[in-house]
């Protein structure tokens, strides 16, 4: 498998390490933080199909990436910088408020 | 050697080089072959037909095929450390001095005493291993297993170290073409002419595939001549890489392929600097699988006798190698290609005693061919049994009309049709499709970027293969953005390729083998089906059909068809023959490449490693690092003496320890303090500039992850250390937090573990020693530079340095860091300037002793199951902020005050030795698991106290202080009494740190 790192270009799988689905850390100040963190830690969907995942370019630029991969075929449809995805997410959340 | 010994060699025929005779031996007997031979063709040329004994019944076996699908002709090549078992003689390229031995025979190939297994075969039937030797269990290891291994099994691996080297390489291309038959060559040509970077790989040492084996003309030339002209043109393109002797064994995601190149398998000993094999990772934008098709046998009685050979292999030996594999032949076929073999046989001077075809009405062209050569034709007939033992002597033929008749022959050329070689197309989960008209599976939906062409796709005619290849090559190049047109198709005919499905001769009297490599017979398939193993996956596991080195290339489809017939289902409803990598066996050595022995992983050395070596240090591996464990002095004979001396010197004067292996990360940015607050359990934003603080990080699940120190050099500039073991993990975690969790923070991370050489200088004279190397005007006095102070300064006349007043030993101590290149100089200088204080270097052992004396937790306590409260650090956790792991650490199970906590232990009998791993049991309780109170994690002999001390986790620790418990170590037969004490054994007030 090869991942097209937005900073380094297309690189072989062995340069990357995998974390899991690209879920957001819950708000620790929310009233149901215990349940939310429990779900964040242990209750992850086992997706059959396109899934957004976090990968780390360990042997490259040290960037975390949001990789959209079809778990059935390993086909990767999109790779984005995790930081940019996270900033865009915050911007959307900010606008919503 | 006498060349006339090649009695079966045909005159003026074949693609071998008669000017290059090659000497070789088989089972010690010398023979001669020619350059261009395989071991199999050279053996056949010399009239050798019996080459091995079968796996289970020790039946005599010969050569069935001419390719990598060979199930029988497995031999040991070479000798000594280079001995290589289970090599298929059909692909082993002949070289001068080749030594080959037959396998699996005792005591010799012609007289095999274990062939008696054939007589007891009722006991060796399907499921044999599952039904026999069930008890007593104790007999397995000593009796059954050695006996089975002796009787069955294949070749012997060399016990010595492999003296050859193996290489790994990566290649990139626009178009990868796998297979260099007619289709593959045209594909490569079309793509290359369009300007694409092309890799053409073929498992053989010669390009051309079936064009070398069949007597066909292309563009008015012989197949071999046409191949040579195409290869010459391909060589003229700079972007084309031609890889012969290279098997593409696996297809992986995103156009990645695994291939093994047999760089020096065709020489006795690789030249200096040349690897034996090279493992390729080929990354291809597009790929064209053109691996051709493999002929399958028909299952009939004694179909494993030497002399029964696939018809396509017969043609290969005649046309490519110039060898007649027999003198009198019977052809047994169900298709046009097989039947056409009579023409090659006649042209080679072989007497054709009969053409037996299962079809009731043969095509006129074949009938007239037979008539022309006066060959007897048996239509609607079968070869029910081969006659003979270690060599075929005849065929028992049964036609739908008349009585069975016996025809004398010593070669039976058999063809049951062709299976497209589609294995590589299925490696990523694609399922093959059944085609009734071909009686074969063809590739199903292909992975992105992959195309399949020619016989591998079920397109069998030569002209069609050429055309399809040209189109596939052009299409792949065009998809890669090149302007491409299919190369002009050279003149060639499509041969007739009609086939009528026929799998198994029911009327056979003798054992009929479906899988010759695993000795699986038609009766075994019937038995398995009767016993309920009706799924093809069950059949495979119960009978071992399709396993071992050939992976059922000649047997899977036959087995599947027979099972389908037995269960009354269609073949596609019964199952498919998808494959996993590798396509053919790959040596472990090739997969390992250079990564073996000490090259298995890198060894990291600290900047002053050479100095430590000169000093006679004993080293220990910690992760990838080699660290000094202790520094024995002349006369010190045991490690404990040395370590105790090192500890005592530190406690009384001064010692220096290399701590360069610590993980080191620079944390810069206006939000650096805020960031550290969120990743450490304690506050770091309040840390003053010029100060350091101990810190603990948790995982998000609330378990302790790592500890270290954070130092602040400016408002926006921190520097943290991690434990040696977690350096990489912590950086990854912090990058995760910075980029994904809090992307808005202004903070940057720089790993600098390798940039700094760092030394702990500890002991009451530490300051006196350092005062000799710090440059003026730096004030190192206790008042100016107190405990937990940090500074940037210069030492030894201008070398940039950092000084941290930190102590892991409990003594007044410093850590001093200099750029890595100065580490060796700094260490040597500290040693020479410290002579007047009696300075000692100390290693990881003394470091460990002193941290246990001080009750500091380390790796054995931060073991991935403990919380900061378990470690006695619960009070460090700030309640004024959130941090990673805070929420989940409040879960009832983790917050339970009765969880085992770290406390200290000392032996009641001061001379007793403590043991790490010992379990704590109440004094009057039975030492069983339900009475377990916890266990010892770290122990050391404390030279400062004169007895052993230990740290461990104990349930209800607070209420047990002062209690006497048993420490039971059943593994080492130790059961002693210990007292529960504070984990801080030495200088509980910390007075020595601050002086």
Topology of domain B897-993 in CATH is Elongation Factor Tu (Ef-tu); domain 3 (2.40.30)
* Interatomic CA distance for residues B442 and B452, integer angstroms: 10
Whether B595 shows a pLDDT value over 80: the answer reads yes
Which residue in chain B has the smallest CA separation from A16?
Answer: B732
Whether B334 contacts B358, CB under 8 Å: yes
Whether B819 contacts B757, CB under 8 Å: yes
pLDDT level of residue B303 (50, 70, 90 thresholds) = very high
CA dist B352 to A57, B95, B325, B897, Å?
66, 33, 12, 91
Check residue B202 and give left, alpha or beta (phi > 0: left; psi -120 to 50: alpha): beta
Domain count, chain A: 1
- When pLDDT is averaged across residues B732-761 and rounded to a whole number, the result is 98
Which residue in chain B has the smallest CA separation from A72?
Answer: B429
* Interatomic CA distance for residues B324 and B342, integer angstroms: 13
Contacts of A13 in chain B (CB under 8 A): 253
Q: Please tell me whether the peptide bond between B300 and the residue prior to it is cis, using omega within 30 degrees of 0.
A: no
In chain B, % of residues over pLDDT 70 = 95
Whether B518 contacts B154, CB under 8 Å: no
Instruction: Render pLDDT for B375-390 as a digit per residue (tens, 0 to 9).
Output: 999 999 999 999 999 9
Which residue of A1, A17, A40 is in closest CB contact with B253? A1
- When pLDDT is averaged across residues B407-427 and rounded to a whole number, the result is 97
CA dist B8 to B324, B349, B351, B804, Å?
5, 11, 14, 85
Q: Whole-number mean pLDDT of chain A?
A: 94
- Token look-up 């060639």 returns B492
Q: How many CB atoms lie within 10 A of CB B847?
A: 27
* Interatomic CA distance for residues B837 and B654, integer angstroms: 7
Whether B49 contacts B524, CB under 8 Å: no
* Interatomic CA distance for residues B178 and B188, integer angstroms: 9
Selected for mutation to probe chain B from A16, A83, A89 (highest B CB count within 10 Å) is: A83
Which residue in chain A has the smallest CA separation from B891?
Answer: A34
Whether B146 shows a pLDDT value over 80: the answer reads no
Whether B391 contacts B326, CB under 8 Å: no
* Interatomic CA distance for residues B823 and B756, integer angstroms: 8
DSSP state of B281: E
Whether B292 contacts B210, CB under 8 Å: yes
Q: Which of B119-133, B153-167, B299-313, B341-355 has the lowest mean pLDDT?
A: B119-133
* Interatomic CA distance for residues A44 and B700, integer angstroms: 15
**With respect to CATH, is domain B3-132 assigned 3.40.630.10?**
no
The DSSP string of B879-905 is SSS--TTHHHHTSHHHH-TTS-EEEEE
**Structural domain of residue A26, as residue ranges?**
2-96
The pLDDT value recorded for residue A94 is 79
d(CA A64, nearest CA chain B) in Å: 7
Instruction: Render pLDDT for B190-240 as a digit per residue (tens, 0 to 9).
Output: 999 999 999 999 999 999 999 999 999 999 999 999 999 999 999 999 999
Tokens of B216: 């066909």
* Interatomic CA distance for residues B481 and B286, integer angstroms: 11
Whether B326 contacts B411, CB under 8 Å: yes
The DSSP string of B353-370 is EEEEESSSS--HHHHHHH
Q: Which of B465, B425, B426 is nearest to B184 (CA)?
A: B465
Whether B989 shows a pLDDT value over 80: the answer reads yes
Contacts of A23 in chain B (CB under 8 A): none
Q: Which of B253, B448, B444 is nearest to A74 (CA)?
A: B253
Whether A97 shows a pLDDT value over 60: the answer reads no
The pLDDT value recorded for residue B156 is 81
Whether B750 shows a pLDDT value over 80: the answer reads yes
Contacts of A63 in chain B (CB under 8 A): 735, 739
Tokens of B155: 């070749």
Selected for mutation to probe chain B from A40, A56, A59 (highest B CB count within 10 Å) is: A56
d(CA B744, nearest CA chain A) in Å: 7
d(CA B544, nearest CA chain A) in Å: 29
The pLDDT value recorded for residue B890 is 95
d(CA B593, nearest CA chain A) in Å: 16
Burial B245-261 (b: 16+ CB within 10 A, else e): bbbbbbbbbbbbbbbbb
The pLDDT value recorded for residue B134 is 54
3-class DSSP assignment, residue B624: coil
Selected for mutation to probe chain A from B171, B699, B743 (highest A CB count within 10 Å) is: B743
The pLDDT value recorded for residue B477 is 98
Q: Are strands B717-722 and B704-714 parallel, antiparallel or unpaired?
A: antiparallel
pLDDT level of residue B121 (50, 70, 90 thresholds) = low
Whether B144 shows a pLDDT value over 90: the answer reads no
Contacts of A84 in chain B (CB under 8 A): 743
The pLDDT value recorded for residue B577 is 73
pLDDT level of residue B578 (50, 70, 90 thresholds) = confident
Q: What residues contact residue B62 under an 8 Å CB cut-off, 6+ apart?
A: B49, B50, B51, B72, B73, B305, B306, B307, B308, B309, B391
Whether B124 shows a pLDDT value over 80: the answer reads no
Q: Whole-number mean pLDDT of chain B?
A: 94
3-class DSSP assignment, residue B588: helix
Whether B884 contacts B699, CB under 8 Å: yes
Q: Which residues pair with B263 in a beta bridge?
A: none
Q: Which of B119-123, B638-642, B893-897 has the lowest mean pLDDT?
A: B119-123
* Interatomic CA distance for residues B923 and B967, integer angstroms: 9
**Residue A32 at interface with chain B, using a CB cutoff of 8 Å:** no
* Interatomic CA distance for residues B968 and B981, integer angstroms: 18
Q: Do B740 and A2 touch (CB under 8 A)?
A: no
The pLDDT value recorded for residue B145 is 62
Do B166-293+421-479 and B297-416 come out as alike in CATH topology? yes
Give whichever of B484-498, B574-588, B938-952 has the largest mean pLDDT.
B938-952
The pLDDT value recorded for residue B136 is 58
- At the fourth CATH level, which superfamily is domain B655-849? Probable tRNA modification gtpase trme; domain 1 (3.30.1360.120)
Which of 3.30.390.30, 3.40.190.10, 3.50.50.60, 1.10.1060.10 would CATH assign to domain B166-293+421-479? 3.50.50.60
The pLDDT value recorded for residue B2 is 42
Q: Which of B343-357, B460-474, B532-546 has the lowest mean pLDDT?
A: B532-546
Q: Which CATH architecture has domain B511-583?
A: Orthogonal Bundle (1.10)
Instruction: Render pLDDT for B770-814 as a digit per residue (tens, 0 to 9).
Output: 999 999 999 999 999 999 999 999 999 999 999 999 999 999 999
Which residue of B428, B447, B740 is in closest CB contact with A82? B740
**Residue A71 at interface with chain B, using a CB cutoff of 8 Å:** no
Q: What is the CATH classification number for the domain harbouring A66?
A: 3.30.2270.10
Q: Do B448 and A75 touch (CB under 8 A)?
A: yes
3-class DSSP assignment, residue B205: coil
Q: Please give the backbone phi and psi of residue B105, each rounded to the nearest 5 degrees, phi first.
A: -135, 150
The pLDDT value recorded for residue B153 is 57
**Residue A79 at interface with chain B, using a CB cutoff of 8 Å:** no
Which residue of B254, B281, B739 is in closest CB contact with A64? B739
Contacts 24+ apart (CB under 8 A), B878-882: B878/B677, B878/B681, B878/B682, B878/B683, B880/B683, B881/B677, B881/B678, B881/B683, B882/A28, B882/A29, B882/B678
The DSSP string of B252-272 is ETTTEEEEEE-SSTTSSSPPT
Whether B1 shows a pLDDT value over 60: the answer reads no
- At the fourth CATH level, which superfamily is domain B297-416? FAD/NAD(P)-binding domain (3.50.50.60)
Interface of B with A (CB under 8 A): 170, 252-256, 281, 283, 428-429, 447-448, 700-701, 728, 731-732, 735-736, 738-741, 743-744, 749, 882, 886-888, 890-891
Whether B142 shows a pLDDT value over 70: the answer reads no
The pTM score is: 0.90
Q: Which of B729, B713, B719 is nearest to B676 (CA)?
A: B719
Pick A94 or B980 by higher pLDDT: B980
Which class for B537: exposed (0-12), middle (13-18), buried (19 or more C-beta within 10 A)? exposed
Q: Do B741 and A86 touch (CB under 8 A)?
A: yes
Tokens of B608: 């002053």
Residues written for chain B: 995
Q: Are strands B625-630 and B604-605 parallel, antiparallel or unpaired?
A: parallel
The pLDDT value recorded for residue B137 is 59
Q: What is the domain partition of chain B in residue ranges? A: 3-132, 166-293+421-479, 297-416, 511-583, 655-849, 897-993
pLDDT level of residue B241 (50, 70, 90 thresholds) = very high
Q: Which of B104-118, B336-350, B552-566, B914-928 has the lowest mean pLDDT?
A: B104-118
Whether B422 contacts B368, CB under 8 Å: no
Q: Which of B317, B304, B262, B257 is nearest to B87 (CA)?
A: B262
Q: Which of A71-80, B104-113, B161-170, B915-924 has the lowest mean pLDDT?
A: B104-113
Whether B860 shows a pLDDT value over 80: the answer reads yes
């Amino acid at each position: 498998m090869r991942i097209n790192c937005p900073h380094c270009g297309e690189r072989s799988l062995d340069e990357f390490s995998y974390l899991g689905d690209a879920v957001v850390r819950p708000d620790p100040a929310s009233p149901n933080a215990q349940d939310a963190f429990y779900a964040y830690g242990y209750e992850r969907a086992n997706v059959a199909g396109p899934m957004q995942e976090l990968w780390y370019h360990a042997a490259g630029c040290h960037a975390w990436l949001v990789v959209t991969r079809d778990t059935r075929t390993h086909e990767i449809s999109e790779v984005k910088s995790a930081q940019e995805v996270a900033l865009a997410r915050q911007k959307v959340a900010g606008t919503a408020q | 050697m006498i060349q006339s010994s090649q009695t079966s060699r045909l005159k003026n025929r074949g693609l071998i080089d008669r000017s290059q005779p090659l000497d070789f031996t088989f089972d010690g007997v010398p023979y001669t072959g020619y350059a261009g031979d395989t071991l199999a063709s050279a053996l056949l040329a010399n009239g050798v037909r019996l080459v091995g004994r079968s796996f289970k019944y020790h039946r005599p076996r010969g050569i069935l095929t001419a390719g990598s699908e060979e199930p029988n002709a497995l031999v040991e090549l070479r000798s000594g450390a280079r001995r290589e078992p289970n090599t298929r003689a059909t692909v082993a390229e002949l070289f001068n001095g080749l030594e080959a031995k037959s396998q699996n025979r005792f005591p010799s190939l012609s007289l095999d005493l274990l062939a008696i297994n054939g007589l007891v075969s009722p006991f060796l039937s399907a499921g044999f291993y599952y039904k026999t030797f069930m008890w007593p269990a104790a007999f397995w290891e000593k009796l059954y297993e050695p006996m089975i291994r002796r009787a069955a099994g294949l070749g012997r691996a060399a016990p010595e170290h492999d003296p050859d080297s193996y290489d790994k390489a990566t290649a990139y291309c626009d178009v990868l073409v796998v297979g260099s038959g007619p289709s593959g060559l045209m594909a490569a040509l079309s793509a290359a002419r369009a300007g694409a970077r092309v890799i053409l790989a073929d498992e053989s040492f010669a390009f051309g595939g079936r064009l070398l084996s069949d007597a066909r003309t292309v563009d008015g030339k012989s197949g071999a001549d046409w191949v040579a002209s195409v290869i010459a043109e391909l060589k003229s393109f700079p972007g084309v890489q031609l890889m012969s002797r290279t098997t593409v064994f696996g297809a992986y995601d995103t156009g990645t392929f695994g291939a093994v190149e047999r760089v020096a398998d065709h020489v006795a000993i690789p030249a200096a600097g040349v690897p034996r094999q090279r493992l390729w990772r080929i990354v291809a934008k597009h790929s064209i699988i053109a691996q051709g098709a493999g002929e399958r046998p028909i299952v009939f009685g004694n179909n494993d006798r030497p002399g029964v050979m696939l018809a396509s292999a017969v043609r290969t030996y005649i046309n490519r190698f110039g060898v007649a594999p027999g003198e009198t032949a019977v052809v047994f076929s169900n298709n046009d290609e097989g039947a056409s073999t009579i023409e090659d046989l006649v042209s080679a001077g072989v007497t054709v005693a009969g053409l037996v075809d299962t079809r009731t009405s043969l095509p006129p062209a074949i009938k007239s061919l037979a008539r022309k050569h006066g060959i007897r034709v048996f239509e609607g007939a079968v070869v029910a049994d081969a006659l003979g033992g270690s060599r075929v002597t005849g065929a028992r033929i049964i036609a739908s009309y008349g009585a069975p008749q016996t025809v004398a022959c010593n070669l039976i050329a058999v063809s049951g049709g062709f299976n497209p070689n589609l294995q590589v197309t299925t490696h990523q989960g694609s399922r093959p499709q059944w085609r009734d008209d071909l009686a074969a599976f063809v590739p199903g939906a292909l992975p992105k970027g992959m195309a399949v062409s020619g016989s591998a796709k079920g397109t069998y005619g030569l002209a069609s293969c050429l055309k399809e290849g040209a189109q596939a090559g052009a299409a792949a190049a065009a998809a890669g953005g090149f302007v491409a047109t299919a190369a002009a198709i050279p003149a060639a005919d499509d041969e007739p390729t009609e086939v009528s499905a026929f799998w198994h001769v029911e009327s056979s009297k003798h054992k009929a083998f479906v899988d010759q490599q695993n000795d699986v017979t038609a009766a075994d398939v019937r038995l398995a089906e009767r016993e309920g193993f009706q799924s093809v996956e069950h059949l495979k596991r119960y009978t071992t059909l399709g396993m071992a080195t050939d992976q059922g290339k000649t047997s899977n489809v036959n087995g599947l068809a027979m099972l389908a017939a037995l269960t009354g289902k269609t073949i596609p409803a019964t199952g498919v023959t998808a494959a996993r990598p590798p396509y053919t066996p790959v040596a472990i050595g090739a997969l390992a490449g250079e990564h073996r022995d000490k090259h298995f992983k890198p060894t990291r050395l600290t900047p002053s490693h050479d100095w430590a070596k000169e000093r006679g240090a004993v080293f220990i591996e910690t992760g990838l690092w080699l660290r000094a464990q202790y520094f024995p002095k002349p006369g010190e004979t045991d490690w404990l003496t040395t370590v105790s001396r090192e500890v005592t010197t530190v406690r009384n004067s001064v010692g220096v320890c290399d701590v360069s292996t610590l993980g080191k990360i620079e944390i810069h940015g206006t939000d650096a303090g805020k960031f550290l607050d969120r990743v450490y359990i304690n506050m770091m934003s309040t840390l003053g500039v010029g100060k350091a603080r101990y810190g603990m990080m948790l995982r998000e699940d609330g378990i302790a992850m790592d500890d270290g120190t954070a130092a602040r050099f400016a408002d926006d500039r921190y520097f943290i250390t991690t434990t040696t073991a977690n350096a990489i993990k912590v950086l990854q975690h912090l990058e995760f937090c910075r980029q994904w969790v809090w992307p808005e923070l202004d903070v940057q991370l720089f790993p600098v573990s390798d940039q700094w050489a760092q030394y702990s200088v500890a002991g009451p004279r530490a300051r006196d020693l350092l005062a000799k190397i710090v440059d003026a005007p730096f004030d190192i006095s206790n008042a100016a530079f107190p405990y937990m102070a940090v500074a940037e300064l210069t030492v030894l006349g201008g070398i940039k340095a950092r000084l941290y007043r930190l102590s892991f030993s409990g003594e007044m101590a410093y850590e001093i860091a200099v750029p890595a290149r100065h580490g060796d100089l700094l260490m040597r200088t500290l040693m020479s300037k410290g002579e007047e204080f009696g300075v000692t270097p100390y290693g990881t052992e003394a470091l460990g002793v002193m941290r246990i004396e001080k009750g500091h937790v380390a790796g054995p306590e931060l073991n991935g199951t403990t919380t900061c409260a378990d470690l006695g650090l619960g009070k460090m956790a700030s309640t004024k902020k959130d941090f990673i792991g805070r929420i989940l650490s409040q879960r009832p199970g983790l917050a339970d005050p009765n969880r085992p906590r770290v406390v200290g232990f000392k032996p009641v009998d001061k001379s007793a030795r403590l043991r790490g791993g010992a379990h704590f049991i109440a004094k009057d309780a039975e030492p069983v698991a339900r009475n377990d109170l916890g266990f010892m994690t770290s122990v050391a002999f404390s030279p400062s106290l004169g007895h052993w001390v230990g740290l461990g986790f104990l349930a209800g620790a607070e209420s047990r202080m002062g209690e006497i418990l048993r420490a039971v170590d059943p593994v080492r037969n130790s059961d002693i009494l210990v007292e529960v004490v504070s984990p801080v054994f030495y200088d509980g007030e910390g007075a020595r740190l601050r002086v």
